[in-house]
Structure formats: C-alpha cells, structure tokens
Amino acid sequence: LLLAVSALHPPLAATVQRRCRRRAVYLAESAGAKKLTLIRHGQSEWNLANRFTGWVDVDLTTRGIQEAREAARALKADGTEYDLVLTSCLRRAVRTSCLLLSGAGRPAVPMVKDARLNEQHAGALTGRNKRSLAKEHGHEQVMRWRRGFAVPPPPISTKAPLQSAICRDERYRRRPCAGGASGGPSQDVVVPRGETFRDCLERVSEVWSDTVEPALRDGKNVLVVSHGNALRALIKLVDGVSDEDAYHLDMPTACPLVYEALPSSGPSGVRFGDAHGTWGTSSVLRHGRFLYDEGRVQQAQEMMRSQVLRDIAVSTISSTGSSGIATCDAWSEEGVSSVRVSVGDGESFNVRTMGKPERQP
C-alpha cells in the first residue's frame, strides 16, 4: 500500500512514513515504560476536622479506610505489579500503604518509610482549623500558607505540647541494631519548627534523586504513598512545574495518579509521556493520569480549596456507592465515639468516628 501511495503521491507517502516511524518508536518505548504511582493517604482525623496537620501523627477515619480500599481496587484493575513502596513515617500514610497493598493483592512488596516524605510542617498553624484562621487572617493569607511557594507559617515553640511530642518521637532517632546496622534513619531527623513549600520540596527532591529516579531507571514500578504537599513537591519535579504554577497543584485523598516513565538518553535516564490533562482549571500540564473520573477529581480539588470559606471535610468517595465525592461539616469534639475496624489477616484497630452526616457538594 505504501509503495502505491509513493507512486501516486510522494509527499503523502513521506508523511505516512514519518508517522509510522514515530509510532514505532513510541511503541518500543512504551514496552519498556515503568509506572510511578502517587497516592495521598486516606482521609485522616484532622482532614475531617479541617485542620492543619503537618507532622502530627493522626490516624485514618473510617471513611479514610474506605477510600484506601477503593484506591486499592483501582490499582488492582490497572494491573501494575509494584516493586517498591515509599511512604512517610506517619501512620495515616503507612496504614494507607498497607491497605493498598493488601487490597491489590501485593502484601509482600518492600515498603520503605522515609521522614523526608512527611507532610510539610505547619508550624504554629498545626492543629488550627482553616476556616477559623481565614476569619482571623483572611482567606487569601490562609491560601498563601496552604499553597504559596516560599510563605512560611509562624514558627511553633519547641515547648508547645504538639511540637515537644514530635521531637521526642523515637521514629526520628537513629536506632543501632545488631552488627552495627541502623534500625531507623541513618541519622537523627531534625524536626523543623515550620516549613515553606520550598523547604518541603528540598527534602522531597532528595528522595527523588537517591531513591525514586534510580528505581525507575532500574526498571522498577514505584508506588509513593504520602501527603498533600509532599506529593505536590514530587509532582512539581515530574511535571516540570514552575515555582509560581505550583500553586495550582492539588492531590485529593486516596486518588491514584499514574505516570509512565519512559527510557531517555538524557541525564536523568527517564522521561514522562504525553500530557493527560491540566491541573484543576489552570493551564498547567499534567503528565499523569488519574485512575478516577476527571470530573470527580476536579470536584474534589475545588472543594478542598473552598475549605477556607466553608468549614467542611471532603471525601473522594460517597457512602451511596456512587462515583462522586461527598462533603460533610467539619468535625468538632461533640459526640466522639470509636469503632473497631478490621484490616484483614485477623488484624484490627480502633478508629474514632467523628463526622457529621455527609452531603453531596
């Protein structure tokens, strides 16, 4: 057919040949593509309370567990077999990781806990309700704290109970093991008194350089389960987002985002495929694909940003079983109870139930 086209219309034949070559190169590269999947932890107790959380080690809510299980089903349907899981040292991310691996039928995948993947430290904003802060300081200032690149929160006192508890936490201390090996971090982790997004990006960049990128180059599929701002930092690196445009990046809870890492002759050894859309309503290109409906993701992103204007909690799943999101009034301390939740293999743990009835956004 190509010979016939060449005889009748040489320019068209040349165009077809170029497209065929490009397609062949794409298919060859895609065959060697590896997956980098990013997932924010399921809804936490302080997500439900619409509070700045940072390094405070709050747990998942019952809704957060449900979110993680639905994300696990999406991962299983996507079919990727992961070789490595990276997560933070905080239980909401660690438990989400365990639920994801169990639900996806991959419980034996190695998991690395790294404090550099902890959430951005919120300083003196830690534990404060976002809507209450907006009433005090204005919603624009609160959004600068939430999404600004180099806007520091007020520093927290080292004597503050929350900060003092974090600083004493054994998981941030080097623990020697038999034979001189380390059972924890290679050195003591310096707990910050507050961080800008730039600070968070700096430590996440180290994880990218020494762990994520080498694993992708070695042909491994990598799953990163972390926190909103830590993942925004990783996305900034992968999508090549400018400091200013990082403002538009939002990761809803337990919403899988999959990037295809293709071999590259460049310095990094990997590159990412064509754009699958943009971030929110901006023009910032997103090269990863969400495993959930784009409209559902965008709706969750919009509701997250509105939390400075409305005291609400947001979930990426609905109890009705629909594929939409749900919101409810943010939790306050009235009517706290707990429930025993099974996570499979005979294990269970207590989870506080704190939410108001959900409503559709």
Quick one: which of 290, 274, 286 has its CA closest to 235? 286
Name the catalytic one among 41, 121, 139, 287. Answer: 41
CB contact set of 211 (below 8 Å; sequence gap of 6+): 86, 112, 114
In angstroms, rounded to a whole number, what is the distance separating the alpha carbons of residues 177 and 17? 61
In angstroms, rounded to a whole number, what is the distance separating the alpha carbons of residues 343 and 65? 9
Q: Dihedral (C-alpha) 213, 113, 38, 263: value to the nearest 10 degrees?
A: 20
Count of other CB atoms within 10 angstroms of residue 3:
8
SS3 for 26?
helix
Catalytic status, residue 276: no
In angstroms, rounded to a whole number, what is the distance separating the alpha carbons of residues 44 and 56? 11
In angstroms, rounded to a whole number, what is the distance separating the alpha carbons of residues 280 and 302? 8
In angstroms, rounded to a whole number, what is the distance separating the alpha carbons of residues 3 and 6? 5
CB contact set of 324 (below 8 Å; sequence gap of 6+): 296, 299, 318, 360
Quick one: which of 16, 34, 48 has its CA closest to 352? 48
Residue for token digits 């996570």? 343
Which pair of structure tokens corresponds to residue 137? 């300081």
In angstroms, rounded to a whole number, what is the distance separating the alpha carbons of residues 262 and 285? 18
Quick one: which of 33, 27, 41 has its CA closest to 316? 41
Name the catalytic one among 119, 195, 213, 260. Answer: 119
Catalytic status, residue 119: yes
CB contact set of 191 (below 8 Å; sequence gap of 6+): 55, 121, 163, 166, 167, 172
The catalytic residues are 41, 119
